Amino acid sequence: MDVSDRLAAEALIVDVDGFEGPLDLLLTLSRTQKVDLRQISVLALAEQYLAFIDKARDLRLELAADYLVMAAWLAFLKSRLLLPPDPSEEGPSGEELAAHLAFQLERLSAMRDHAAKLMARDQLGRDFFARGITEDVTRTRRVTYTATLLDLMQGYARIRTKDEFRPFVMDRDRVFTMEEALGRMRGLIGFAGEWTDILSYLPEGWEMDPVKRRSATASTFAASLELAKEGKIELRQGDVFAPIQIRKKDR
Amino acid sequence: MSEDQTPENAGEQPEESLFEAPPMGEQERMVEAILFASAEPVTVKELAGRMPHGCDPAEALVHLRKRYEGRGVTLIKVGDAWAMRTAPDLGFLMQKETVETRKLSRAAVETLAIVAYHQPVTRAEIEEIRGVSVSRGTVDQLIELEWIRFGRRRMTPGRPVTFVVTQDFLDHFGLESARDLPGLKELRSAGLLESRPAPSLASDEDSEDGDEDENQSEMFDEA
Amino acid sequence: MSEDQTPENAGEQPEESLFEAPPMGEQERMVEAILFASAEPVTVKELAGRMPHGCDPAEALVHLRKRYEGRGVTLIKVGDAWAMRTAPDLGFLMQKETVETRKLSRAAVETLAIVAYHQPVTRAEIEEIRGVSVSRGTVDQLIELEWIRFGRRRMTPGRPVTFVVTQDFLDHFGLESARDLPGLKELRSAGLLESRPAPSLASDEDSEDGDEDENQSEMFDEA
């Protein structure tokens, strides 16, 4: 390594942090060769780099691991480039490795140049401008609702199906259930020794209103059938539409 | 262009004499670019301040205004400032109407169905049939859709309003009249009504739409 | 206009059949108004969506572009969209409008250029080119600026994500497409955009190289 190389390396040693990695450092070092990157002497570059690393170590600068890895690799490359090729050795030749390094440097350099070209272009908001007063598109949203005849009919069917259960849930006040009739008749039947019209068993207040009367009649009739089945009463009807009579059945 | 500069003016603004003002075509371009990019209307004075010395933005504005006559964009004066705006007749392009189709809610469908089958029907009757109260929004929505409208007031205490379906309703659902709506029997035979006969009650759920009491008494009559 | 309408058509597509497309001069005005009103580039499809049925915005754009040639405001193409922008030579008038942009770091500028010229490119490839790891902040900054975005995953082991430049990037740098990047052709013919694999060493000299090799094989697959 000659004096000028050393001087160049010294000038660079000021701030290792200023480099963005070993490739960047190599690219900067390569500039001292003042040749096209395709003609660069990778051997000389490797030596420059190794000198730089040595110097940095002398100054006890902390070097990131990748700088040292690169140094090791370049030392290896250097040995390959200097020694005559060993035919028994496998892998790429020193020249191939050197060519790839040169390619990497050229590519990095090219990307730098083109990054600069890109940034030198006219830029929006700096050299050319968009409309200052934009008129926003007002978005009006109109919602239309759809329903088909089928929806309509199904909706109606749903309600009407619900209606069928209403007497049990909603209209209890006007329905005299069979359970109620049974309860009432079980209490009264003990006193019914003689044939009595079942209509006399209708609860109080259910005789006048036709709706209530019908409900109470039906449930009382049903209850009497139930009691007859249990063998508690006897049933008789003189004729079609004649009054139905019941009496207590004595065991 | 510089010929019309009077020496007095030149004396006041020394830069003027150093450079010739750009040709009017260029000045017009400048005014155009400034008005385009500016977030606010720009006064002539401000234009002059931003353009090279010796420019005559007032004249450039006259040319520019003429150039934009009848275009999609026009040059307008706002107070003593100038701005570019899209032509008023093209305002419709600045609106984007998105039509969204939604399915009518279940409450609305049911309310609509009740009006259709029972019209004229009061709100109280709708509530009685549905078994739940009808929200104002549901009725309003159906009125807005022009599927139901107010009918005659019922001649009962409180004279409640009734609802009936509209011609729009019939058109939308492809019906000649509300009487064409299928009855419950038809609904069932079409498989639209799940057959769920109430236990121990007579089978005539299909009794057409009378009121509830009638239905019940009918059922008992047949029992 | 409506005489030749068959009822069927009228029912199906009222807009299309009821009105003829406006004359081209009108369409040009419409495109002009829409582009003028928007700061963002507008695609032909969007234009067509906002203009009346039957319009041909692509043709209107050709006319409009010609009309604005050499004006203070010009019509430019950005990707598959169009925008109005002030002529770059008049930038000096716009100090007031200039937006101070955060200065990009050297790493960010280089990363941006690498994405633009090599896209789609993986993070490993960017690192291979720069010879240094890419910090998360750098990529985040470029994504935040909406100049780069994630592209498709590379179909190689590990399925790494790729980065590509955005329409905003093209818009910002006044590029019609990424093909118009300065010096792209030269870079390509010089072979500098190829991903050339490092000659692999027979033995693992150091473990760090192991990663490197993998990255390169990805680039290999691309080539």
- Cβ atoms of A188 and A146 within 8 Å: the answer is no
Cα–Cα dist A235/A225, whole Å = 8
Residues of C in contact with A102 (CB under 8 A): none
Structure tokens that stand for C125 in this block: 């490839």
Among residues B149, B185, B187, B155, the alpha carbon closest in space to that of B167 is found at: B149
Residue-range domain boundaries for chain C: 24-94, 106-220
Q: Which residues contact B144 (CB under 8 A, 6 or more apart)?
A: none
- Enumerate residues 6+ apart whose C-beta is below 8 A from A68: A53
Site of tokens 């549905």: B130
B172 contact residues in C (CB cutoff 8 A) = none
Q: Which of A176-180, A212-216, B197-201, C123-127 has the lowest mean pLDDT?
A: B197-201
Q: Does residue A157 register a pLDDT over 70?
A: yes
Whether residues A91 and C201 touch (CB distance < 8 A) is answered with yes
Closest in A20, A69, A121 to C107, CB measured = A20
Query: Where would I find the H helices in chain B?
Result: 7-12, 14-18, 24-37, 44-50, 57-67, 106-118, 123-130, 136-144, 167-172, 184-189, 212-222
Q: What is the distance in angstroms between the Cα of B56 and the nearest Cα belonging to chain A?
A: 23
Flag if A125 and C97 touch (Cβ within 8 Å).
yes
Q: Which of A133-137, A158-162, C168-172 has the highest mean predicted lDDT (pLDDT)?
A: C168-172
For B97, the closest chain C residue by CA position comes to C50
- Contacting partners of chain B (3+ CB pairs under 8 A): A, C
Residue A21 and residue C88: Cβ atoms within 8 Å?
no
Model confidence at A140: pLDDT above 90 = no
Count the Cβ atoms, other than its own, within 10 Å of residue B7: 8
In this complex, is the C-beta atom of A123 within 8 Å of any C-beta atom belonging to chain B?
no
Residues of chain B with pLDDT under 70: 1-19, 96-99, 180, 184-223
Q: What is the pLDDT of residue C89?
A: 92
Chain C residues touching residue A26 (CB < 8 angstroms):
131
User: What's the one-letter identity of residue B85?
Assistant: R
CB-count burial class (<10 Å; 0-12, 13-18, 19+) for B191: exposed
Chains with ≥3 CB–CB distances under 8 Å to C: A, B
Chain B residue numbers touching C51 (CB-CB < 8 A): 93
Reported confidence tier of residue A6, pLDDT bands at 50, 70, 90 = low
C37/A137 CB distance under 8 A:
yes
Other Cβ atoms closer than 10 A to B198: 16
% of chain C residues with pLDDT over 70: 81
Q: Assign C56 a pLDDT band (cuts: 50, 70, 90).
A: very high
Choose among B32, B50, B86: nearest Cβ to C72: B32
Let me know if B77 is exposed, middle or buried by CB neighbors in 10 A (0-12, 13-18, 19+).
exposed
Dihedral pair phi/psi, residue B95, rounded to 5°: -115, 135
SS3 state of residue C51: coil
Mutate to test the interface with C, among B26, B27, B28, B29 (most CBs of C within 10 A): B29
**Cβ within 8 Å, pair B196-A163:** no
The stretch A177-196 carries a mean pLDDT of 81
pLDDT in tens, C136-176: 888 888 988 889 988 888 888 888 888 999 999 999 999 99
**Closest Cα in chain B to C49:** B96
Q: Give pLDDT, residue A4.
A: 66
Q: Residue A106: list chain C partners with CB under 8 A.
A: 192
Backbone phi and psi for residue B24, each to the nearest 5 degrees, phi listed first: -60, -35
What is the average per-residue pLDDT within A11-23?
A: 68
Q: How far is A15 from chain B (nearest CA, A)?
A: 45
A34: left (phi over 0), alpha (psi -120 to 50) or beta: left
Beta bridge partners of C162: C122
Q: Tens of pLDDT along A205-217?
A: 888 888 888 888 8
Of A139, A140, A211, the CB nearest to B217: A211
Query: Does the beta carbon of C30 lie under 8 angstroms from any beta carbon of chain B?
Result: yes
DSSP A174: G
The C-alpha of B3 sits at a distance from chain A's nearest C-alpha, in angstroms, of: 32
Q: What is the predicted pLDDT for the residue at B118?
A: 86
Which tops the pLDDT comparison, A62 or C45? C45
Q: Which fold has domain C24-94?
A: Arc Repressor Mutant, subunit A (1.10.10)
The more confident residue out of A175 and B90 is: B90
Q: Which residues of A touch B175 (CB under 8 A)?
A: 149
State whether A118 and C196 contact (CB < 8 Å).
no
The percent of residues above 70 in pLDDT, for chain B, comes to 70
C97-124 mean pLDDT: 88
pLDDT at C218: 36
Q: What is the mean pLDDT of residues A106-128?
A: 90
Query: Residue B17, exposed/middle/buried by CB under 10 A (0-12, 13-18, 19+)?
Result: middle
Q: How many CA atoms lie within 13 A of B167 on its CB side?
A: 0
Phi, psi for residue C164 in degrees, rounded to 5: -135, 165
CATH of domain C106-220: 1.10.10.10
User: Which two tokens mark B178?
Assistant: 């509300």
Which candidate from C39, C88, C109 shows the least CB-CB separation from A131?
C39
Largest CA distance in chain A: 144
Nearest CA in chain C to A66: C132
**CB atoms closer than 10 angstroms to residue C27:** 24
For the purposes of burial, counting CB atoms within 10 Å of the CB of A177, is it exposed (0-12), middle (13-18) or buried (19 or more)? Answer: middle
Q: What are the backbone dihedrals phi and psi of residue B121, each rounded to the nearest 5 degrees, phi first?
A: -135, 140
Of A137, A147, A160, the CB nearest to B95: A137
Give ipTM to 2 decimals.
0.60
Q: Give the predicted TM-score (pTM) of the model.
A: 0.58
Per-residue pLDDT tens for C13-41? 444 445 678 999 999 999 999 999 888 89
Tokens of B141: 């929505």
Closest approach of chain B CAs to the CA of C170, in angstroms? Answer: 19
Residue A165 has pLDDT above 50, yes or no: no
Helix axes A42-58, A94-119, angle to 10 degrees: 80
Instruction: Measure CA of the first residue to CA of the last residue in chain B; give whole Å.
Output: 110
- Please name which of A167, A164, A165, A247 lies closest in space to residue A212, comparing C-alpha atoms: A167
Identity at C210, one-letter amino acid code: G
Q: What is the pLDDT of residue C47?
A: 93
Task: Please indicate whether the domains covering C24-94 and C106-220 agree at the CATH topology level.
Answer: yes
When pLDDT is cut at 50, 70 and 90, the band that residue A200 belongs to is: confident
Higher pLDDT, A167 or A55: A55
Q: Which of C38, C102, C104 to mutate to test the interface with A (most CBs of A within 10 A)?
A: C38
Euclidean distance between CA atoms A157 and A154, whole angstroms: 5
Highest mean pLDDT among A168-177, B47-56, B200-209, C90-99: B47-56
Predicted local confidence at residue B202, as pLDDT: 37
Q: Write down the mean pLDDT value for chain C.
A: 81
- Closest residue of C to B96, CA-based? C50
Neighbours of B147 (CB within 10 A): 25
Hey, CA dihedral for A23, A26, A28, A31, is it positive or negative? Answer: negative
Using a CB cutoff of 8 Å and minimum separation of 24, what contacts does A176-182 make? A176/A203, A176/A206, A176/A212, A176/A215, A176/A216, A176/A219, A176/A220, A177/A219, A178/A219, A178/A222, A178/A223, A178/A226, A180/A219, A181/A216, A181/A219, A181/A220, A181/A222, A181/A223, A182/A223, A182/A226, A182/A227
Provide mean pLDDT across the span A16-29: 83
